[in-house]
């Protein structure tokens, strides 16, 4: 029989049924639920509060990188997508197309935005005339639609939220530098420092490259079940779109040139990453930096002045900038309330009962470790700050350790396939040539990225005549591939 302090299990075990566990956490933590149209989702207030914190932090970083926000239409003329052949071919299976509007058949079908390269470049062609107009750095926060056949909330939905950056530059070098700036200084730093999720950065193979790009850079993370999740990408588009949309400028010598471009984005998929990277048998587990509620002050029993003292604790912590919520509900048992807050992943609980008030103490309980400690009331605010800092650091360290333990070196394709059943396989990129990548794909394993064996990024451009998988340069000249099963 479950006790008051240990109610019955409300979610599946992540060790026994990880997919069911994920669905349970998303539902029971009140993050999201399915919408009325298959593949769509309703993001609930608590889930949206997490997304808003992600959005605010990323928006600040993107603006610091020099980009400005704008907004472009949801509907895109079908003819726009057809201007860049590889782009339309890559997106055709996922497109939602509107053929009727206002009770009449449209003269030209319009596509519901799957990504905005084409419609933004139509504007760039009107805005860019001279080298003085460059670089042009634009970001958009929007929804996109990609018709998903196998939906999973946050990970793959037919409609999702994201930011998409689009830039134009005078030279290939400037475009390449900016694409990497976004990858490393915006995306990677945010994922590591805020989400406490370590990522591997590298270059996608030609097979995995974004449709219409010359180079795709990626951030890849390992989830708790050993599978990979693509967290965000930054693309070098070369002059593919600028030629298709005739985006040219006069340089300082009076010569007309096509611009060089980038595009980059992250989406609400990051919400799924938070669940799968840090969650456990008790539910969601949020790093303090991203948690909408950092601390919940939980009244054990509403007697002996506990509610009044709890209210004063909440006021003190809020005065120090903490995101705090008070839970003094008398109609729900203490045990069930603990389970509820653990499900929501709140990093720290302050538990306060009549004995604590009488003894001028409080109990601190950390979500990530489950440890509890009794703290004198006068030291509470300082200890809260210390525990939140420690929790953020520990969650990142633990995620790094899990990845290291589930990463194996492989010297053959068979070894890589075997290693990828439980985590990441690191193999020589040369093994992917001559059908090697197809062999991995047929076994349900994909190449997540290419990087050098010393951890540095490979060249963006492959020398003319060289194989995409041979690469060049680096401290030891060795290009390796990270292979894994993926979401």
* CATH number reported for the structural domain that contains residue 472 in this entry: 3.30.110
What pLDDT, on the 0 to 100 scale, is given for residue 151? 92
The pTM (predicted TM-score) of the whole model is 0.93
Residue 5 pLDDT exceeds 60: no
Determine how many CB atoms are found less than 10 A away from the CB of residue 183.
24
Instruction: Take residue 163 and report the two structure tokens written for it.
Output: 């930011």
One domain, residues 134 and 156: yes
One domain, residues 341 and 476: no
% of the chain at pLDDT higher than 90: 89
The β-bridge relationship of strands 372-376 and 424-428 is unpaired
What pLDDT, on the 0 to 100 scale, is given for residue 81? 85
102 domain-assigned: yes
Q: Are 229 and 273 in contact (CB under 8 A)?
A: yes
* CATH number reported for the structural domain that contains residue 339 in this entry: 3.40.50.800
What pLDDT, on the 0 to 100 scale, is given for residue 108? 96
Q: Are 357 and 313 in contact (CB under 8 A)?
A: no
What pLDDT, on the 0 to 100 scale, is given for residue 8? 53
Per-residue confidence at 461, pLDDT binned at 50, 70, 90? Answer: low
H or E element, residue 23: helix 18-28
Sorted by sequence, the CB contacts under 8 Å of residue 223 that are 6+ apart come out as: 229, 273, 276, 277, 487
Residue 2 pLDDT exceeds 70: no
Range(s) of the domain holding residue 453: 407-484
At 75-108, the pLDDT tens digits run 999 999 888 767 767 778 889 999 999 999 999 9
Query: Considering 394, 428, 446, which residue would you say is the last residue of a domain?
Result: 394
Q: Are 91 and 80 in contact (CB under 8 A)?
A: no
Q: Are 285 and 196 in contact (CB under 8 A)?
A: no
What pLDDT, on the 0 to 100 scale, is given for residue 463? 43
H or E element, residue 48: helix 45-64
At 229-252, the pLDDT tens digits run 999 999 999 999 999 999 999 999
Return the closest-CA partner of residue 224 out of 185, 188, 183, 196: 196
Spatial separation of the C-alpha atoms in residues 69 and 476, rounded to whole Å: 41
285 domain-assigned: no
11 domain-assigned: no
One domain, residues 67 and 166: yes
At 192-237, the pLDDT tens digits run 999 999 999 999 999 999 988 999 999 999 999 999 999 999 999 9
Query: Considering 346, 372, 394, which residue would you say is the last residue of a domain?
Result: 394
Spatial separation of the C-alpha atoms in residues 191 and 54, rounded to whole Å: 10
Domains identified in the chain, total number: 3
4 domain-assigned: no
What pLDDT, on the 0 to 100 scale, is given for residue 472? 42
How confident is the model over 408-423, as a mean pLDDT? 98
70 domain-assigned: yes
One domain, residues 167 and 38: yes
356 domain-assigned: yes
One domain, residues 101 and 220: yes
* CATH number reported for the structural domain that contains residue 76 in this entry: 3.30.930.10
The β-bridge relationship of strands 372-376 and 407-409 is unpaired
Per-residue confidence at 465, pLDDT binned at 50, 70, 90? Answer: very low
One domain, residues 329 and 384: yes
Sorted by sequence, the CB contacts under 8 Å of residue 148 that are 6+ apart come out as: 39, 94, 156, 157, 158
Residue 475 pLDDT exceeds 90: no
Side-chain-side CA neighbours of 114 within 13 Å: the count stands at 24
What pLDDT, on the 0 to 100 scale, is given for residue 479? 96
At 279-322, the pLDDT tens digits run 999 999 999 999 999 999 999 999 989 999 999 999 999 999 99
One domain, residues 208 and 268: yes
Q: CA triplet 118, 124, 130: central angle to 5 degrees?
A: 150
Phi, psi of 437 (to 5 degrees): -65, -40
Residue 156 pLDDT exceeds 50: yes
One domain, residues 371 and 418: no
**In the chain, what's the furthest Cα-to-Cα distance?**
83
At 127-153, the pLDDT tens digits run 999 999 999 999 999 999 999 888 999
C-alpha dihedral, 52 to 61 to 205 to 276, nearest 10°: -30
One domain, residues 369 and 476: no
Average pLDDT in the chain: 93
What pLDDT, on the 0 to 100 scale, is given for residue 85? 67
Determine how many CB atoms are found less than 10 A away from the CB of residue 197.
27
Query: Considering 228, 244, 278, which residue would you say is the last residue of a domain?
Result: 278
What pLDDT, on the 0 to 100 scale, is given for residue 131? 97
42 domain-assigned: yes
How confident is the model over 254-266, as a mean pLDDT? 97
What pLDDT, on the 0 to 100 scale, is given for residue 118? 92
Q: How far is CA 84 from CA 57, 167, 204, in A?
A: 33, 17, 20
Phi-psi region of 156 (alpha: psi -120 to 50; beta: other; left: phi over 0): beta
Question: What is the Cα 460 distance to its own chain's centre?
Answer: 23
One domain, residues 112 and 139: yes
Phi, psi of 353 (to 5 degrees): -120, 175
Spatial separation of the C-alpha atoms in residues 164 and 261, rounded to whole Å: 13
What pLDDT, on the 0 to 100 scale, is given for residue 7? 44
At 350-390, the pLDDT tens digits run 999 999 999 999 999 999 999 999 999 999 999 999 999 99
Q: Are 346 and 315 in contact (CB under 8 A)?
A: no
One domain, residues 188 and 246: yes
38 domain-assigned: yes
One domain, residues 168 and 269: yes
């Amino acid at each position: 029989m479950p006790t008051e302090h240990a109610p019955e299990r409300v979610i599946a075990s992540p060790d026994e049924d990880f997919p069911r566990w994920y669905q349970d956490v998303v539902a029971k933590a009140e993050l999201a639920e399915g919408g009325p149209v298959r593949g769509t989702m309703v993001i609930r207030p608590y889930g949206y509060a997490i997304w808003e914190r992600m959005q605010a932090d990323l928006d600040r970083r993107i603006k610091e990188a020099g980009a400005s926000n704008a907004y472009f239409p949801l509907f895109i003329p079908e003819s726009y997508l057809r201007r860049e052949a590889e782009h339309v071919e890559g997106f055709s299976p996922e497109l939602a197309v509107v053929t009727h509007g206002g009770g009449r058949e449209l003269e030209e079908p319009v596509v519901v935005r799957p990504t905005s390269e084409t419609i933004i470049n139509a504007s760039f062609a009107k805005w860019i005339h001279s080298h003085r107009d460059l670089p042009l750095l634009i970001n958009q926060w929007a929804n996109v639609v990609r018709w998903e056949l196998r939906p999973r909330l946050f990970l793959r939905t037919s409609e999702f939220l994201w930011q998409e950056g689009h830039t134009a530059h005078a030279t290939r070098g400037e475009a390449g530098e900016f694409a990497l700036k976004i990858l490393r200084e915006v995306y990677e730093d945010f994922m590591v420092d805020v989400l406490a999720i370590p990522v591997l950065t590298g270059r996608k193979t030609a097979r995995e490259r974004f449709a219409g790009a010359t180079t795709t850079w990626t951030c890849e993370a390992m989830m708790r079940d050993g599978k990979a999740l693509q967290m965000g990408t930054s693309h070098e588009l070369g002059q593919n779109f600028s030629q298709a949309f005739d985006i040219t400028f006069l340089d300082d010598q009076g010569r007309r040139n096509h611009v060089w471009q980038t595009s980059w984005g992250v989406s609400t998929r990051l919400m799924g990453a938070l669940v799968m990277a840090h969650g456990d048998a008790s539910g969601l587990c949020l790093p303090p930096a991203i948690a909408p509620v950092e601390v919940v002050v939980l009244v054990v029993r509403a007697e002996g002045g506990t509610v009044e003292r709890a209210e004063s604790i909440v006021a003190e912590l809020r005065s120090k900038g903490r995101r705090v919520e008070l839970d003094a509900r008398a109609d729900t048992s203490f045990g069930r309330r603990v389970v509820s807050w653990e499900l929501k992943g709140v990093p720290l609980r302050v538990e306060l009962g009549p004995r604590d008030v009488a003894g001028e103490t409080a109990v601190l309980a950390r979500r990530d470790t489950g440890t509890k400690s009794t703290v004198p009331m006068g030291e509470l605010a300082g200890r809260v700050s210390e525990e939140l800092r420690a929790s953020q650091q520990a969650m990142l360290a633990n995620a790094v350790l899990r990845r290291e333990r589930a990463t194996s070196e492989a010297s053959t394709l068979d070894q890589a396939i075997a290693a990828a059943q439980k985590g990441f396989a690191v193999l020589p990129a040369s093994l992917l040539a001559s059908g090697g990548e197809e062999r991995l794909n047929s076994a349900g394993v994909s190449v997540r990225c290419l990087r050098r064996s010393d951890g540095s990024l490979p060249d963006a451009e492959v020398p003319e005549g060289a194989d995409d998988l041979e690469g060049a340069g680096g401290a030891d000249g060795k290009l390796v591939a990270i292979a894994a099963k993926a979401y």
